[in-house]
Structure 1
């Protein structure tokens, strides 16, 4: 692998991280300002995200597998905590 290849990979990883950060920050803002608390933001957002992914030709299997893997890995990241404080 050349330095240029590594630089391109680093830029790709930064772009991915920024995309996820921006989505989560926006969802947190929407959650805190939600005028309809009986309609929580996160379930709506996840549903919309899944349909957007499907519309962009990710398969149902790819989407389901990714979400299940993320949910299964969350306890390790969260170290037993239900909410970050």
Structure 2
């Protein structure tokens, strides 16, 4: 256990890796910011879930993508293309 009262900083000049055998958790009290110069990849074996209040994005390993929310706003500067064997609009 490491207990730091104010500021904790790590600077890695070339690469950094953390490997955890079973469970890893992080809790941030107010704000977390991640800045990536080029590519950012997230990979989950079974499910990825992102929640913000009443909004939710869920992706599972079977290929199902679920968007839940109280309202949807979609804006595109170009064409909007929707492909599917059946498209149910209500």
Short-chain TM bin: under 0.3
Structure having the higher Rg: 2
More helix by share: 1
Question: TM-score, normalised on structure 2?
Answer: 0.21
More strand by share: 2
Question: TM-score, normalised on structure 1?
Answer: 0.22
